[in-house]
Structure 1
Amino acid sequence: MDWLERTAKLRQWSRNGTRAPHKPLLLLYALGRFQEDADGALRYSTVEEDLHRLLAEYGPPRKTTPAYPFHHLVSDGVWEVHTDRGPGSPGSGVRDLREAGAAGRLAPDLRAALRREPPLLGRIARLLLDLHFPPSLHGELCESVGLELEPTESERLSTVRRQRDRQMRERVLTAYEYRCAFCGYDGRIGAVPVGLEAAHVRWWAFGGPDDVENGLCLCSLHHKLFDKGVLGVGWGSPRSSEAESGGGHRILVSQRFVGHSPAAREHVTALAGRPLVGPQPGVRPVAAAHRDWHTSQVFHGEPRPVTAATPLQS
């Protein structure tokens, strides 16, 4: 049985690029627990809080429940559920799972395969990460689910048909003249830029292309906050000259973000409503379709109202 192919084909609710990472998150969590206890089961009432936290932090902005993947992952052949009454899931309702004493774990054949071939666990985990989350979140997501993976894994996975364009980073950083589009940071050591990254607006895992219209040059801090939905990109009412330079785009800051320190105010909340540092003349800014996808699928909650803020100089 090809477990990588089965992992790549997890059935998920999908419509117009909507994120539904419920099953991948549960499977990553189960792999992490398998490393701790290969025979242990995950009682829903015990792990519900952990799964809620994962969905809140790495799932879609809309409200959701961990009961959904706990029940439905069974149909993908990688997960099994037992209750106090015997095998089989009682349903996808939270009350159903709690009252029946539902407990889940990796399917028997998958557990046997992981015992026979220990590197398979890392390959499955990396495939899930690559298919459903941006690289900036991989490390902390592994920590969140208790996964310990090898630092590097260079083998090519046949189930991932799209290959990333290695020139994407250089094209995006050049387009933005090696400055963070949110704060203007442009640090270097000698001639080498440091702390600057090319962020996909529409995530590569969700069909985002490797081109400049889907990219932003961001410092490491703002890249992470952008991928976590703290920061976003909106559209103001630009003058024609602003539109040509990308100045029509404005920075969104989530109302759910809380930070009381001067650093949090300066580097995050004070950005609300500021114009982006646009790309150099002749380069098209972020495409509306990619911007709108990020706003609906990644950005959390409503944006903070614009306060009197000093625009960044571009």
Structure 2
Amino acid sequence: MDWLERTAKLRQWTRSGTRAPHKPLLLLYALGRFQEDADGRLRYSAVEEDLQRLLTEYGPPNRTTPAYPFHHLVSDGVWEVRTDRGPGSPGTGVRDLRETGATGQLAPDLRAALRREPSLLGRIARLLLDLHFPPSLHGELCEAAGLELEPGEAEQLARVRRQRDRRMREMVLTAYEYRCAFCGYDGRIGTVPVGLEAAHVRWWAFDGPDDVENGLCLCSLHHKLFDKGVLGVADGHRILVSQRFVGHSAAAREHVKALAGRPLIGPQPGARPVAADHLDWHTSQVFHGSPRPAAAV
């Protein structure tokens, strides 16, 4: 059985690029727990809080319950659920899963394959990360899921879908004249830019193209906050800051809150600005909550 192929084909609700990473997040969490205890079962009532935290932080803006993937992942052949009554899930109701003592575990055939071939776990985890999340979130997502990947397992598996255009970074940084489009940071060591990255507006994992119209030159901090949904870009290319963001320090006020309502810096004349449809996707699928009002000048 090709477990990588099965992982790549997890059945998810999709419509016009809508993010639905519920099953991938549960599977990443289950792989992390498998590393700790290969025979342990995950009682829903005990892991519900962990799973809800993953969905809240790395899932789509609309709130959802971990009961949904806990039940539905069974249909993909990688997960099994048992209750006090025996095999089988009682459904997607949170109360049903709690009151029946529902527990979940990787499917027996998958557990056996992971024991035979330990490196398979890392390849499955990396595939899930590549297919559903931007690279800027991979490290912290592994930590949040309790996953420890070997250095050799950190290689991209982008070939499963399509090849990235390695010119993307240079094209985007050039278009924005090597300055963060949010704060203007333009640090270098000698002639080499440091701390500047090409951010995909519509994530590559969701068919975002590798071109200037889908890119922003951002410093490392603002790239991470952009991919986490703290920052966004509105019509008119003005910066959005989520009301959910909390920060009381002078640094948080200056480097995040004060960005609300500011216009983007760049791109230079002649370079194509970010396309409206990519901005719309980011606002609906990544940006969290309502935007703050424009900062007082």
Once the 2 structures are TM-superposed, how far is the Cα of residue 157 of structure 1 from its aligned partner?
Answer: 4.4
**Is the contact made by 1:232 and 1:251 (CA closer than 8 Å) also made in structure 2?**
yes
Q: Write the mapping of 1:262-277 to structure 2, written as runs, cut at 5 A.
A: 262-277=250-265
- Asked whether 1:226 is paired with 2:223, we answer no
Q: Structure 1's 157 and 200: CA in aligned 2 closer, same or farther, altered over 3 A? A: closer
Aligned partners of 2:219, 2:294: CA distance in 1, in Å?
A: 22
1:45 aligned residue: 45
Tell me, what secondary structure is at the counterpart of 1:235?
coil
Q: Write the mapping of 1:149-298 to structure 2, written as runs, cut at 5 A.
A: 149-153=149-153, 157=157, 160-236=160-236, 249-298=237-286
Aligned partners of 2:155, 2:2: CA distance in 1, in Å?
A: 16
Aligned partners of 1:156, 1:47: CA distance in 2, in Å?
A: 29
1:54 aligned residue: 54
**Is the contact made by 2:180 and 2:265 (CA closer than 8 Å) also made in structure 1?**
yes
Aligned partners of 2:250, 2:44: CA distance in 1, in Å?
A: 41
The letter for the 1-side match of 2:98 is: R
Aligned partners of 1:59, 1:161: CA distance in 2, in Å?
A: 21
Once the 2 structures are TM-superposed, how far is the Cα of residue 161 of structure 1 from its aligned partner?
Answer: 2.4
Aligned partners of 1:282, 1:155: CA distance in 2, in Å?
A: 36
TM-score using structure 2 length: 0.98
Aligned partners of 2:157, 2:206: CA distance in 1, in Å?
A: 18
Q: Mind listing any 5+ residue stretches in structure 2 that lack a counterpart?
A: none
Q: Write the mapping of 1:47-126 to structure 2, written as runs, cut at 5 A.
A: 47-126=47-126
The letter for the 1-side match of 2:270 is: G
Paired residues, number: 297
1:134 aligned residue: 134
1:241 aligned residue: none
**Is the contact made by 1:8 and 1:159 (CA closer than 8 Å) also made in structure 2?**
no
Once the 2 structures are TM-superposed, how far is the Cα of residue 284 of structure 1 from its aligned partner?
Answer: 1.0
Aligned partners of 1:150, 1:175: CA distance in 2, in Å?
A: 36
Q: Structure 1's 155 and 271: CA in aligned 2 closer, same or farther, altered over 3 A? A: closer
Q: Deviations over 1:165-203 (max 9, x none)?
A: 111111100110000000000000000000000000000
1:18 aligned residue: 18
Q: Structure 1's 156 and 21: CA in aligned 2 closer, same or farther, altered over 3 A? A: closer
Aligned partners of 1:301, 1:154: CA distance in 2, in Å?
A: 32
Once the 2 structures are TM-superposed, how far is the Cα of residue 150 of structure 1 from its aligned partner?
Answer: 1.3
**Is the contact made by 1:4 and 1:127 (CA closer than 8 Å) also made in structure 2?**
yes
**Is the contact made by 2:230 and 2:242 (CA closer than 8 Å) also made in structure 1?**
yes
The letter for the 1-side match of 2:250 is: P
The letter for the 2-side match of 1:289 is: D
Q: Deviations over 1:254-304 (max 9, x none)?
A: 001011100000000000000000111101100000000000000001100
Q: Structure 1's 251 and 117: CA in aligned 2 closer, same or farther, altered over 3 A? A: same
Q: Structure 1's 159 and 173: CA in aligned 2 closer, same or farther, altered over 3 A? A: closer
**Is the contact made by 1:81 and 1:103 (CA closer than 8 Å) also made in structure 2?**
yes
Q: Mind listing any 5+ residue stretches in structure 1 that lack a counterpart?
A: 237-248, 310-314
- Asked whether 1:305 is paired with 2:260, we answer no
TM-score using structure 1 length: 0.93
The letter for the 1-side match of 2:66 is: P
Superposed CA RMSD = 1.1
Tell me, what secondary structure is at the counterpart of 2:151?
coil
Q: Structure 1's 149 and 156: CA in aligned 2 closer, same or farther, altered over 3 A? A: closer
Identity of aligned residues (%): 88
